[in-house]
Chains A and B, each alone.
Chain A
Amino acid sequence: MPEETKKIDLSGDGGVLKEILREGTGTETPHNGCTVSLHYTGRLEDGTEFDSSVSRNEPFEFPLGKGNVIKAFDMGVATMKLGERCFLTCAPNYAYGAAGSPPAIPPDATLIFELEMLGWKGEDLSPNQDGSIVRTILETSDKKRSPSDGAFVKAHISGAIEGRVFEERDVEFDYGEGSAINVIEGVEIALEKMNIGETSRLKIQAKYAFGAKGNEEFKIPPNAVVEYTVKLVDCGKGIEEWKLSDNERLDEAKAYKEKGTNYFKKENWALAIKMYNKCKNLLPNTADTNEEVKKVKVATHSNIALCHQKCNDHFEAKQECNAVLALDANNVKALYRRGQCNLTINELEDALEDFQKVIQLEPANKAASNHVLICKQKIKESKNKEKKLYANMFTKLAANDKETEPPRETDVLSKCGEWSEEDAKREAELTLERDNIIMI
C-alpha cells in the first residue's frame, strides 16, 4: 500500500504511473513542441530490457507532444523537471496495445521505463535553423491542418517585449500577405507550422520581427527580440494548384493579379511583387498558343518591372522587362522601362538602343525622344570623363598617387533623377491613362 501511494497517476485511469526516483531541479517542465533530450531504459514486467539509450551511448532526442513516440512517453516526459529520474509504468493501451511490437515487445505488454531528463529547448522554426524563431506550444491541438500559401488565416496574436504587451489583436489575412496588415514575418513563418486550435509562444529575433529599425508606435528599439503568443483560430485549405485546369489556373492567376494591383495602389511594392509572382507561377504554360495567357503574362511581368523600379531594384526590373520582350519584342512599355533601368544602372548604350526602338515604334513618343537626348548627353559625358581619366592616369602615376582619385563627376543617378522625376511622373500618368490601367 505505501508503495502504491508513491506512484503518480498521470493518465487518470492508472494507465501511466510515474514514480520519482530523484527529484529534479526548479519548477519548470518542458512544454509541448520542445525538443527533449533524455536517457531511458525500457523493460518488460519480467525485467527483460528491450531498449535503452544508455546502451547506445547517446541521449535520445525527440519533439515532445507531437505523437512521435508512444503515448505514455509523451505524457510522462512532459511532467519531468530538469535532472529528474523516474520510473514510468505504461499499460498496453498507452504503449503498443494488444498487438505489441514484435519481436521485442509481446502483445498486451506493460512497459516500465526508467527515465532521466537531461534538458529541453524550444523548437526552432527559423528557415536557417539559427534560433531566430523559437516556438513553445502552450496548448496543443489534435487537429492537423495548417495554413498553406494563399489560405485564409484567422488568428489571435499578442506581442510583448520584456514583459510589456505592445499589441494584441485578432487578425485575418491570406497566408503570405500578413505584412499587409503588419503581421511580422516571424509570426507568419510560425503560423505555417501551427495546427488549428494550437496556441504557441514565439520568441522572435529582430530580423524576423521589427529589424534594425524597430518600431516607434510600439516603442520597440532597434534590433529587439520580441515574444508573441499566437493562437491559430482557423484556416482555409489554400489553393490546390495541382487540381486546377488551365482555365481555372488562368482565373486564379487573374485573382492574384488583382491582389497585386491592390497592393500596388497602396504602394506596398514587396507584396505587389509577391502577388504578381504568384500570378505568374499559376499561369499555364500556354503563352505561345493562348493569346489571353500571353496578355496576362506580359502585363504581369511588366507590372513586376514597375514595382521593382519603384523599389529602386533596377537590375530586377530589367530582368522582368527582358521577360516581357521575350514574349512580345515590340512592347513599347517594356522597352521604355528597360531603357530607364539601363540608364539608371549606367548601361548607356543599351538604354539608347531601347529608347530609339521606342521612337521607331512610336515616333510621337516625346518622353522617349527626351530620353534619347539624355542618353546621348550622358554617353558623351562619360566618354569625356574616360578620356580625362586616361589622360590623367599617367601624369598621376608619375606624381606617385598624390591624388588618389580623379574628382568624381556628379552622380549619374541623382542627376538622372533630378531631370526625369517630373517628366517621368507625367509620363507614367500618361501611360496609365492611355492604357486604361491594364498594366497595373
Chain B
Amino acid sequence: MEMEQEQEQAMDVRTQADPKEAANLLQLIKQLLVEKAYDGVRMLFNSPNEAERNTRQLPLIAMDLYHEVCAGNISDIVYSEEPELFDCSDELLKVLAKYAPLQELMLEMMERVEESSSLAVFGAHLRALQVLLQRQGRDKPQAVEWCLQSVFTRIKELPLPDYLSEGYDEAQARLIEQQEQVEDLLAHYITVGLFRQPLFTEIMEQDIRPDAQIFRDCTMNRRNIFTCFFIQLLGRPLALLQLNIEKEDMTRTYVHQVVESLTQDASKCLGDPYYLLNLVEMRARWQRKLDATKGVYEMSSQNLFLIEEKLPLHAVAMYYHSLFVGNQMPFTAPRIYAPQFLFETIAYLAEVLLNQQEPSLQHCGLRLEEYILSILSEPVPSTSLQLDVHKRFCEALCKIVGYSPEVSLRQLGLHVLRQYILAFEDQGKYLILKNLLETLQHDGLMGYLSGMYKDLVDEAFIKSPLLPEVFSGELFREMLLLCVCVLPHDVKSDLLLNADRLCNALNILRYFALRDKENVTGFWHVLPEIEKRMLVPLGKALDFSMAHYKAYKERVENGQSASDDALMQRQLNMLAVNISNSGMAGGDGDNHLPDIGRTEKLEVLASSITSLETLLGLYLRANECIELAGRKRRLLSDA
C-alpha cells in the first residue's frame, strides 16, 4: 500500500513537470556552470519568480543533474581548485535531494559518504543525506540504519595517530586536539552533529510513545536506531580521546562538547538514561544461544539494544562514563534505582572497558568504577560476590595495576582496587582479598593486599575488642597461613622474586606479635605452623641465597662467571619487570637481555645482595619481636 501511495505521489509531481522544460533546465544549469555564473544557478532556485517553476521540473532531472553535475564536482580537486563551483554543486545537491527518487539517491549518498576523501566532500554528502532522511521519516527504519552506518563507517575509518591506541600522558592529552588527524576527526564529529540535529528534533517531536502503549518498544524503529547511533559514536574512535578528562579541569575542549551533545541526545531519546543498565547483565553475563535452525542469529534479536553490532558494549560503557564521570546525568533522570544495582551493573561495564586494549578506554573504565564506588552509601553485601563479574573485574583490574605500562593507570588502578575492596562488608572484603592472594602472581600487589588485610584487622581492633569472624579464629588462620605467610617453593623459593610479599608477611607477623598480646585473633595458635611452614625454611633460604650471591659475586670479580650467566639473565629479566610487555609476570627467562659487562653484573649482584640483606634484617627483627612477645605472654600466663 505504502509503495503504491509513494508512486502515486511521485507521479503527481512528475505530471506537473514538463520533460522538455526539464531538459532545458538541465542544459541551462550546465551552461551556467561552464560560464562560471554560479549566482545565476542559485537564482534559478532562490528567486521568487523562478524558483517555483524550476523546482517543479526537478523530479524529472534530479538524478541526471546529480550524475552530470554534482557527482563530478563534489570532489577534492574541485574543492581546492574551484571552490565556488564546489559550493554551487553542494547547494544544488541539497536542493535536488528534495526531489530525487528517494531510494536511488539514498544508496548513492551512502556510498559516497563512506568513500568521502575529505571533510568538505563528507559534509556535502551528509547535507544531502540529511534531506533524504527527513523525507524518509519513520518509514523503513532499516534504510535509516544503513545510512547512519555509512556515516559511522566513514568516521571509524579516519586515520588516527598510533599513540591514541598505545597510550599517552597528561601533557600529550592537553595538546591532543592540536594534532592534525585528531582535529580532522573532531571536525567530522561536529559535522555529524549538524547533520543529526534537525533529525533529532523531528524524532523528539514525532516518534513519541502513544498513551495506549504500556511498554517500551525496543524493536527497530527510527528513535531506537538513532539512540544506538548516538551511543555508537561515543565509542571508538571518540573514546580514544578521553584520557585524562579530569573533573577539575575547566577547559571545555571540543572532545567535551562532542561527548556532551551526543550523551544528551542519547539520554533524551532513551527517556530513562538508566534503562540500558537493565540490559547490561543480559548482554555481558549471558551469551545469546545462536541457533540457525531456530532463526537465532547475531542480528535477529527483536530487542535492538541487545545486538552488539548495533550497540557495542564498550560504547554503552562510554555513555555511562559520560553520564556519571562527565556529570551529564539529566536532572529529570529517575532517582529510584538502588545503589547496589548500579554498582553491580557498572562493574560489568567497567570490566568491559578495562579489558580493552587502549589505555584511554581502560582509564575511563577506572574512572567509571571510581565514581560508582564513591556514591555507595552502604557496604555491599558479600552475596553480591556470587556474581561472576566480580572475579572478572578483579582480574582485569589487577592486570592493569600490575602490568600496565602507563604509570597513571597503575596508580589510579590501585586506588580503585582499594576502594572497591573496602566497599564490601567485612566478609566480602575477606573473600576478595583471599581469592586475589590465592590467584595473583604479582609480588608487589600481593604484598600490598596482605598489608591491606593487616590494616583491616587493625581497624577492627580499634573499633571493638570483639573481632568479626573474618578477622579471627579459623578464617584468620586460613588467611595468614595459606595466603599471607607463604613461601611458594619452600626453601627453594626465589626470594628476590617474592621479596615484596615476604617483606610484608614479616612485617605482618611482627605487627600481630606486638599488637595481639591477648591472642584475640588466634595469632599465637597459628604461629607454630607459620614457623614451620615459613619462618624456618625462609631462614635457610636466606642463608643459601646470601651465600650463593656472594660466591657468585666473587666469581665475577675473579672473571670465572660464565656458568652462572643463565641465572644472571633471569635475574636481570626479573629486575626489568618487563612491564612494557605487560601480560604476564616477567622473570620466566624467555626474553633475553643483551649480554652485559662485568661492571653491570657486579651492580646487579650488589643490588640483589642488598635486597637479601634487607629481607634478612626484617626476618631477624620479626623473629626477635615474636620471641620477646611470646616470652612476655608466657610470663603473664604463668603469673
Contact = CB atoms under 8 A, between A and B. Distances in A.
Do A and B originate from a single complex? yes
Interface of A: 35, 37, 40, 42, 50-51, 53, 55-63, 66-71, 73, 96-101, 104-105, 113, 118-119, 121, 127-130, 142-145, 148, 189, 192-193, 207-208, 242-243
A69 B337 CA distance: 4
Given A37-B215, A118-B214, A144-B386, A58 B286 contact: no
Nearest to A68: B341
A127 B278 contact: no
Given A62-B278, A127-B288, A242-B395, 7 more contacts: A37-B216, A53-B334, A68-B278, A96-B339, A113-B336, A129-B302, A243-B439
Given A144-B387, A189-B289, A127 B301 contact: yes
10 contacts: A57-B271, A69-B336, A70-B336, A97-B377, A98-B377, A101-B339, A118-B214, A119-B215, A127-B290, A128-B295
A55 B384 CA distance: 34
A429 B432 CA distance: 55
A93 to B, nearest CB: 10
Contacts of A59: 214
A192 B286 contact: yes
Contact of A71 (B286, B334, B338, B377): B338
A145 B336 contact: no
Where chain A touches its partner, the secondary structure class is: mixed
Given A127-B291, A127-B296, A193-B286, A143 B335 contact: no
Interface in B374-410: 375, 377-378, 383-384, 386-388, 395
Interface string B169-200: 00000000000000000000000000000000
A142 B337 CA distance: 18
Contacts of A67: 338, 340-341
A318 B518 CA distance: 73
Contacts of A207: 294
A439 B213 CA distance: 58
Nearest to B304: A129
Interface in B276-331: 278, 286, 288-291, 294-296, 300-303, 306
B332 A56 contact: yes
A51 B336 contact: yes
B296 A60 contact: no
B386 A143 contact: yes
A104 B286 contact: no
A42 B333 CA distance: 12
A242 B584 CA distance: 13
B336 A40 contact: yes
Interface in B316-372: 332, 334-341
B209 interface: yes
Contacts of B337: 68-70
A56 B336 contact: no
Interface string B252-292: 00000000000000000001100100100000001011110
A37 B215 CA distance: 6
A285 to B, nearest CB: 15
A208 B295 CA distance: 12
B338 A68 contact: yes
A63 B282 CA distance: 12
Q: Which of B208, B214, B216, B387 has the most CB of A within 10 A?
A: B214
9 closest A-B pairs by CB = A99-B377, A144-B386, A129-B302, A51-B335, A129-B303, A119-B214, A58-B271, A127-B296, A145-B386
A236 to B, nearest CB: 13
B335 A105 contact: yes
A260 B472 CA distance: 47
Contacts of B289: 127, 189
Interface string B466-497: 00000000000000000000000000000000
Contacts of B378: 97, 99
A61 B216 contact: yes
A438 to B, nearest CB: 31
Contacts of A37: 214-216
Contacts of A148: 388
Contacts of A129: 218, 301-303, 306
A356 B310 CA distance: 49
Contact of B335 (A61, A68, A101, A193): A101
B272 A56 contact: yes
A73 B336 CA distance: 8
Q: Which of A50, A119, A121, A127 has the most CB of B within 10 A?
A: A127
Contacts of A66: 341
Contacts of B209: 58
A118 B295 CA distance: 33
Interface in B90-135: none
A313 B377 CA distance: 58
A58 B289 CA distance: 32
A148 B383 CA distance: 18
Contacts of A145: 386
A69 B341 contact: yes
A128 B335 contact: no
A144 B336 CA distance: 22
Contacts of B286: 192-193
Contacts of A142: 383
Contacts of A69: 336-338, 341
A68 B286 CA distance: 18
Contact of A58 (B272, B295, B301, B375): B272
Contacts of A42: 335-336
A429 to B, nearest CB: 31
B166 to A, nearest CB: 25
Contacts of B300: 128
A64 to B, nearest CB: 12
A128 B439 contact: no
B65 to A, nearest CB: 43
Contacts of A242: 395
A193 B303 CA distance: 18
A194 B275 CA distance: 22
Contacts of B340: 67
Nearest to B208: A57
A73 to B, nearest CB: 5
Contacts of B334: 51, 53, 60
Contacts of B388: 148
A98 B339 CA distance: 13
Contacts of B341: 66-69
A56 B275 CA distance: 13
A226 to B, nearest CB: 16
A237 to B, nearest CB: 9
A35 B60 CA distance: 52
